[in-house]
């Protein structure tokens, strides 16, 4: 498998605070990689930096063999690097379908867009039922489905998911993660940031553990699930 994302010695600072302290990580084509850790560990900051929303203080990010340092903000999505943000970030006054179509704004292949839209409706039949409904009137779980569906319409090479279970009922979380597994099975490469460490590692191929801005463990997901220190710190065992 070729490496799609390579992060080398990434450092991020806010004012005098060092939020990310020289991390290295990689995501290979077709992998689902989890990044777990406590609140404030630097996980979301890492994702925002990967998307060009935060400027790094040092290090390099290579996406598909190219440094992202020269990309303008709008070029990330057109190059295939797409994020589903924490809190979902949907357009509440647009309909479900209008929100989904926003994911395809940089595309002009109308027939393929229509095909991808039907694929999202297949994955999320509830959105098909509510396609003309204003997105702001949906439940939290349905809004998360819209956010993931919108990202899929941009045909991501690498999909960054930031806390997809945040604020959702357990039964909805299970549904969302079933869909994440289905998307991964179709070959979409993903980097998943998730506080529910057990569920994240049960879903992923590999994982990284982040503590206070540093990567402290990295291994196959099954090995991290079996790691006693990871169990005690993050899996409630």
Q: The domain containing residue 118 runs over which residues?
A: 31-43+72-234
Tell me the two tokens of residue 159. Answer: 């999909």
- Answer whether 220's CB lies under 8 Å from 188's CB: no
Q: Domains in the chain: how many in total? A: 1
Tell me the two tokens of residue 121. Answer: 């409706």
Residue 47 confidence (pLDDT) above 90 = yes
> Is 63 contained in some domain?
no
Counting every residue, how long is the chain?
A: 237
> Is 134 contained in some domain?
yes
Burial class (CB in 10 A: 0-12, 13-18, 19+), 200: buried
Beta strand pairing status for 158-162 and 189-193? parallel
pLDDT in tens, 105-142: 988 899 999 999 999 999 999 999 999 999 999 999 99
pLDDT in tens, 143-162: 999 999 999 999 999 999 99
Rounded to an integer, the average pLDDT of 206-224 is 97
> Is 26 contained in some domain?
no
pLDDT in tens, 177-214: 999 999 999 999 999 999 899 999 999 999 999 999 99
Q: Measure the CA–CA gap between 159 and 165, rounded to whole angstroms.
A: 16
- Does this model's pTM top 0.75? My answer is yes
Identify each DSSP E strand in 29-137 by its residue range: 32-36, 58-63, 66-67, 81-84
> Is 60 contained in some domain?
no
Give pLDDT, residue 140.
Answer: 93
Give pLDDT, residue 188.
Answer: 96
CATH of the domain at 185: 3.40.50.300
Confidence class of residue 72 from pLDDT cuts 50, 70 and 90? confident
With a pLDDT cut of 90, the percent of the chain lying above it is 88
Give pLDDT, residue 171.
Answer: 93
> Is 24 contained in some domain?
no
> Is 57 contained in some domain?
no
> Is 211 contained in some domain?
yes
Q: What angle do CA 121, 126, 128 make, to 5 degrees?
A: 45
> Is 157 contained in some domain?
yes
Residue 218 confidence (pLDDT) above 90 = yes
Residue 237 confidence (pLDDT) above 70 = no
């Amino acid at each position: 498998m070729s490496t799609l994302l390579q992060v080398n010695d990434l450092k991020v600072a806010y004012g005098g605070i060092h939020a990310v302290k020289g991390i290295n990580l990689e995501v290979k084509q077709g992998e689902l990689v989890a990044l777990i850790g406590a609140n404030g560990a630097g996980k979301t900051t890492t994702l925002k930096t990967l998307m060009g929303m935060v400027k790094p203080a040092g290090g390099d990010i290579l996406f598909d063999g190219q440094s992202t340092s020269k990309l303008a903000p709008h070029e990330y999505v057109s190059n295939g690097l797409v994020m589903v943000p924490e809190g979902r970030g949907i357009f509440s006054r647009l309909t479900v379908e209008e929100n989904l179509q926003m994911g395809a704004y940089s595309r002009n292949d109308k027939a393929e867009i229509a095909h991808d839209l039907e694929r999202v409706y297949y994955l999320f039949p509830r959105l098909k039922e509510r396609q003309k409904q204003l997105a702001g009137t949906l439940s939290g779980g349905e809004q998360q489905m819209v956010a993931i569906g919108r990202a899929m319409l941009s045909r991501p090479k690498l999909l960054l998911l930031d806390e997809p279970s945040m604020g959702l009922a357990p039964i909805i979380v299970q549904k969302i993660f079933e869909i994440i597994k289905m998307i991964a099975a179709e070959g979409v490469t993903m980097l998943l940031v998730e506080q529910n460490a057990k569920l994240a590692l049960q879903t992923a191929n590999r994982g990284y553990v982040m503590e206070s801005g540093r990567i402290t463990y990295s291994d196959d997901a099954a090995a991290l699930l079996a790691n006693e220190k990871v169990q005690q710190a993050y899996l409630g065992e």
